């Protein structure tokens, strides 16, 4: 745990008692604060009270006497579409609102660092897609290189549940727009922007607000190095804003699909090869095509981001390349779970929408595609350009028949259940083909979440080995 600094004897309110909220309350108490808490859920409040936490209804003005700050969990709206009543009360009373990310950045450095030979560093990753894989890949590369490292934020461990830093440690944080939007302190040493596509627009008041929330990581924090994906105009704009000129290598531009020619520092992937260029000449190249844990152009962009971040930390290209080959990928994200009789089985249960499913379909050849679930508005018609490599589709769940109507000439069957889809794909697949779970739909018709759906697929595939 990282005790929060600068809160001794202050009364601090915590709104939301999920994973991050409970950890925040604990870290504040460890820093000497008097903590009061609130959650909209009666069961959650009961559990908090049983743990000895002091409840106070923060939607009522009488609860705010003497409160110095409100720390809110990331899922709670603070501005759009409208502030939560407790946050509205804080705004009315002039009480500062922050989140656990802000507390982390102001509390991470301690006097213990005076005895360190090498200062700890923080790498923070944001963007619309690829954040989790990029974060996990950077963490993996550091582990493989023997560097002390921790990973947290929006993935794995909450930031205040991390351990205090060791000498030369690198903390790798995935940060969502919900987290960057509100944090009052954002001071990473290296910051990464992967890409931008429309998401959470109601929460941010539109695409401009969404981009502004991501941009705060760079504008507020002033990282020593900024790694910026420039495949969208927002990334090009951000890189331009941060750079003092074409040769300013504090900004590393990255891309998947285009060659980046400049006199600065760039990392890009084209036709399966990653290239690093500095001062107008190539200094390193990596063949990504045979790396099982990073299939497809979207993962090649993740590889570029992780490569650039770890190069900025001083790692050598061959050290990074070796770690790429041992990276198994994140569960449920283009994860190869088995190769059986020359057939590759891939779990991309996280592909819950058309955009994510398209990236998965583009990553493989000769695909037997398991799709379906609780379909979203618009169906899968937008996937028509990506169906050319699909040998056959096996449709499951609530939207199976709706999806079938949008497949055109692509062969398919209504499999209904995951068990039937896996069994039929196993019986029909040929060596060299890939059986891909990329549902293009939510899981809630048959599973509580996409993780359980992916775990079920993986268990069924594992059973095929016996």
Residue 154 marked ligand-binding:
no
Residue 358's pLDDT band (cuts 50, 70, 90) = very high
CA distances from 256 to 79, 228, 259, 287 (A): 34, 12, 8, 14
Percent of the chain surpassing pLDDT 70: 100
Percent of the chain surpassing pLDDT 90: 88
pLDDT at position 129, please? Answer: 86
pLDDT at position 183, please? Answer: 96
Residue 128 marked ligand-binding:
yes
Residue 192's pLDDT band (cuts 50, 70, 90) = very high
Residue 176 marked ligand-binding:
no
Residue 372's pLDDT band (cuts 50, 70, 90) = very high
Residue 271 marked ligand-binding:
no
pLDDT at position 357, please? Answer: 94
pLDDT at position 449, please? Answer: 94
Residues 385-391, mean pLDDT to the nearest whole number: 97
Cα 380 to the chain's mean position, in Å? 24
Q: Distance between CA atoms of 98 and 71, rounded to whole angstroms?
A: 5
Closest C-alpha among 143, 120, 126 to residue 191: 126
CA distances from 42 to 45, 49, 55, 97 (A): 5, 11, 11, 23
Cα 137 to the chain's mean position, in Å? 11
**Paired tokens of 385:** 């350009």
Residues 331-350, mean pLDDT to the nearest whole number: 94
Residue 120's pLDDT band (cuts 50, 70, 90) = very high
Q: Is a pLDDT exceeding 90 seen at residue 200?
A: no
Residue 431's pLDDT band (cuts 50, 70, 90) = very high
**Paired tokens of 42:** 């009666």
- When the pLDDT of each residue in the chain is averaged and rounded to a whole number, the result is 95
pLDDT at position 27, please? Answer: 97
Residue 61's pLDDT band (cuts 50, 70, 90) = very high
CA distances from 191 to 15, 149, 186, 328, 337 (A): 28, 16, 10, 24, 31
Tens-digit pLDDT profile for residues 216-232:
999 987 899 999 999 99
Residues 144-150, mean pLDDT to the nearest whole number: 97
Residue 127 marked ligand-binding:
yes
Tens-digit pLDDT profile for residues 393-422:
999 999 999 999 999 999 999 999 999 999
pLDDT at position 105, please? Answer: 97
CA distances from 126 to 155, 176, 253 (A): 12, 6, 15
Residues 70-96, mean pLDDT to the nearest whole number: 96
Domains of the chain and CATH, by start: 11-98 (3.40.50.720), 103-325 (3.40.1190.10), 335-464 (3.90.190.20)
Do 29 and 2 meet the contact criterion of CB atoms below 8 Å apart? Answer: no
Please provide the size of the chain in residues.
466
Tens-digit pLDDT profile for residues 152-162:
999 989 999 99
pLDDT at position 221, please? Answer: 78
Higher pLDDT among residues 462 and 257, named by residue: 462
Do 177 and 214 meet the contact criterion of CB atoms below 8 Å apart? Answer: yes
pLDDT at position 2, please? Answer: 97
pLDDT at position 402, please? Answer: 96
Q: Is a pLDDT exceeding 80 seen at residue 199?
A: no
Residues 58-80, mean pLDDT to the nearest whole number: 96
pLDDT at position 426, please? Answer: 97
pLDDT at position 193, please? Answer: 98
């Amino acid at each position: 745990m990282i005790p929060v600094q600068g809160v001794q004897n202050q009364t601090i309110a915590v709104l939301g008692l999920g994973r991050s909220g409970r950890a925040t309350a604990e870290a504040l108490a460890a820093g000497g604060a008097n903590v009061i808490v609130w959650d909209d859920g009666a069961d959650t409040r009961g559990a908090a009270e049983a743990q000895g936490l002091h409840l106070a209804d923060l939607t009522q003005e009488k609860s705010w006497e003497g409160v110095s700050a409100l720390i809110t969990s990331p899922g709670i709206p603070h501005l759009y579409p409208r502030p939560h009543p407790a946050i509205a009360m804080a705004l009315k009373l002039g009480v500062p609102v922050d989140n656990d990310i802000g507390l982390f950045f102001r509390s991470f450095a301690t006097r213990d660092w005076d005895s360190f030979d090498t200062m700890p560093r923080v790498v923070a990753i944001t963007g619309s897609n690829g954040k989790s894989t990029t974060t996990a890949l950077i963490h993996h590369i550091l582990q493989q290189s023997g560097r002390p490292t921790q990973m947290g934020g929006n993935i794995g461990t909450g930031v205040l549940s991390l351990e205090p830093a060791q000498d030369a440690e690198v903390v790798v944080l995935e940060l969502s727009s919900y987290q960057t939007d509100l944090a009052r302190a954002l001071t990473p040493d290296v910051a990464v922007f992967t890409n931008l596509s429309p998401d959470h627009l109601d929460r941010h008041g539109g695409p401009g607000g969404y981009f502004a929330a991501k941009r705060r990581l760079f504008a507020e924090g002033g990282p020593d190095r900024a790694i910026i994906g420039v495949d969208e105009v927002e990334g090009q704009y951000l890189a331009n804003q941060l750079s003092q000129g074409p040769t300013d290598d504090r900004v590393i531009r990255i891309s998947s699909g285009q060659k980046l020619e400049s006199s600065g520092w760039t990392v890009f992937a084209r036709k399966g090869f990653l290239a690093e260029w500095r001062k107008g000449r190539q200094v390193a190249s990596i063949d990504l095509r045979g790396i099982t844990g990073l299939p497809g152009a979207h993962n090649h962009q993740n590889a570029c981001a992780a490569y650039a971040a770890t190069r900025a930390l001083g790692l050598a290209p061959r050290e990074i390349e070796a770690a790429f080959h041992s990276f198994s990928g994140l569960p449920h994200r283009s994860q190869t779970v088995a190769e059986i009789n020359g057939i590759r089985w891939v779990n991309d249960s996280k592909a819950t929408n058309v955009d994510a499913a398209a990236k998965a379909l583009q990553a493989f050849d000769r695909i037997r595609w398991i799709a379906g679930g609780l379909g979203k508005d618009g169906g899968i018609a937008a996937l028509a350009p990506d169906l050319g490599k699909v040998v056959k589709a096996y449709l499951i769940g609530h939207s199976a028949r709706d999806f079938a109507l949008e497949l055109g000439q692509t062969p398919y069957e209504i499999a209904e259940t995951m068990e039937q889809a896996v069994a039929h794909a196993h019986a029909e697949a040929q060596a060299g083909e890939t059986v891909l779970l990329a549902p293009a739909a939510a899981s809630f018709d048959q599973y509580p979440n996409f993780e359980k759906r992916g775990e079920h697929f993986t268990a069924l595939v594992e059973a095929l080995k016996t």
